[in-house]
Amino acid sequence: MNTIRFDGRTAIVTGAGAGLGRSHALGLAARGANVVVNDLGVSTQGGRETSDAARAVVAEIEAAGGRAIANGANVADAAEVEAMVAEAMDTFGSVDVLVNNAGILRDKTFAKMTPEDFRAVVEVHLFGSVNCTRAVWPYMVAAGYGRIAMTTSASGMYGNFGQSNYGAAKAGVFGLMNVLAKEGARADIRVNTLAPTAATRMTEGLLAEEVTSLLGPETITPGLLALVAEDAPTGMVLGAGAGCFAEIKVYETEGVALDDAELTPEAVFAAMDRIRDPRGQHVIADAFSQTRRYVAMAAAARNLAVTWKE
Residues acting as catalytic residues: 166
Which 3 state secondary structure label does DSSP give 127? Answer: helix
First to last CA, the chain: 41
* CA separation for the pair 243, 218 (Å, rounded): 9
* CA separation for the pair 143, 187 (Å, rounded): 8
- Could you tell me the sign of the dihedral formed by the alpha carbons of 242, 281, 155, 28, in that order? positive
- C-alpha neighbours within 13 Å on the C-beta side of residue 50: 4
Which 3 state secondary structure label does DSSP give 292? Answer: helix
* CA separation for the pair 215, 222 (Å, rounded): 13
237 contacts 263 by C-beta, under 8 angstroms: no
> What count of other Cβ atoms lies within 10 Å of the Cβ of residue 99?
31
**Sequence letter at residue 168:** A
By the 10 Å C-beta count (0-12 exposed, 13-18 middle, 19+ buried), 261 is classed as exposed
Which 3 state secondary structure label does DSSP give 176? Answer: helix
- Taking alpha carbons only, the member of 135, 143, 153, 151 closest to residue 71 is 135
Residues paired with residue 12 on neighbouring β-strands, in sequence order: 36, 98
Which 3 state secondary structure label does DSSP give 164? Answer: helix
Residue 15, phi then psi, degrees to nearest 5 = 60, 40
